[in-house]
Structure 1
Amino acid sequence: MNGTIAQLVSLATYGNAYLKHQISSDELNLYCSTFIYCKKIEFVNIEKGTGGLPDKESTIANNPGEWYRYLQTEGCTSLKLYYEHSADQSMFSDHKTSGFVGGGGVWLIESAHKKGYFKYWFAKWEVTDTKAPDNRIWSITYYAVLTADKSRIKQSPPLAVVKKELSNTLKTALDFSLNNDTGGFSTAFENAISNIDSPNPKVEYYKDLIPPDGFSLEQQQLLFSAASSWVFGGMGSWNDLGFGDEQTQAEYNDISKTLYDDIIAAIVTAINAN
Structure 2
Amino acid sequence: MNVSILQMVSIVSYSNAYLNDQLPEISNQGEKISMYCNKVLFHIPVEGNETQYTTQAPIDWFLSLKYRGVQQVKLHYKSVPNLNMPERMSAGFVGGAGIWMVETVLDGKSEFWYSKWQVDEHQRKLGSDRIWTVTYKKAPITELLTEVYTVDTQAEELKLILSELVSFCSEIKESGWQSIFAGAKTVLDNAKPSVSTYLKDMIVDGGYTPEALALMEAADRSYVFGGMGSWNDVVSFETKEQESTYLALSDKLYASLNKCILAFANSCVIDR
The residue number in structure 2 matching 1:219 is 212
**Match for residue 66 of structure 1 among 60, 70, 80:** 60
Counterpart-to-counterpart distance in 2, 1:35 and 1:187: 31
Q: Larger % of helix: which?
A: 2
The residue number in structure 1 matching 2:29 is 28
Q: How far off is 1:60 after superposition?
A: 3.5
Q: How far off is 1:217 after superposition?
A: 1.8
Percentage identity across paired residues of the two chains: 30
**8 Å CA contact 1:96, 1:232 repeated in 2:** yes
Q: Does 1:11 align with 2:3?
A: no
Counterpart-to-counterpart distance in 1, 2:200 and 2:148: 28
TM-score with structure 2 setting the length? 0.89
Q: Does 1:163 align with 2:136?
A: no
**Match for residue 153 of structure 1 among 146, 155, 176:** 146
Superposed, 1:60-139 pairs within 5 Å as: 60-62=55-57, 64-86=58-80, 88-113=81-106, 115-128=107-120, 129-139=123-133
Counterpart-to-counterpart distance in 1, 2:178 and 2:259: 21
Counterpart-to-counterpart distance in 2, 1:77 and 1:273: 15
Unaligned runs of 5+ in 1: none
Structure number with higher relative contact order (C-alpha < 8 Å, ≥ 6 residues apart): 2
Aligned structure 1 segments of 4 or more residues deviating by more than 6 angstroms: 47-50
Across the two proteins, how many residue pairs are aligned to each other? 263
The residue number in structure 1 matching 2:236 is 243
**8 Å CA contact 1:42, 1:59 repeated in 2:** no
Which amino acid in 1 is paired with 2:54? Answer: T
Counterpart-to-counterpart distance in 2, 1:191 and 1:147: 40
Counterpart-to-counterpart distance in 1, 2:126 and 2:2: 21
Counterpart-to-counterpart distance in 2, 1:101 and 1:236: 17
Distance 1:200 1:132, change over 3 A: farther
> Root-mean-square deviation (CA), in Å?
2.1
Distance 1:29 1:247, change over 3 A: same
Distance 1:186 1:163, change over 3 A: same
Q: Does 1:210 align with 2:211?
A: no
Q: How far off is 1:151 after superposition?
A: 5.4
Counterpart-to-counterpart distance in 2, 1:90 and 1:161: 30
Cα deviation 1:33-75 (Å, max 9, x = unaligned): x52210011011347999xxxx61413312x111111222101
Q: How far off is 1:85 after superposition?
A: 0.7
Distance 1:57 1:206, change over 3 A: farther
Counterpart-to-counterpart distance in 2, 1:146 and 1:208: 32
Q: How far off is 1:159 after superposition?
A: 2.6
TM-score with structure 1 setting the length? 0.88
Distance 1:44 1:247, change over 3 A: same
**8 Å CA contact 1:38, 1:137 repeated in 2:** yes
The residue number in structure 2 matching 1:259 is 253
Unaligned runs of 5+ in 2: none
Which amino acid in 1 is paired with 2:53? Answer: S
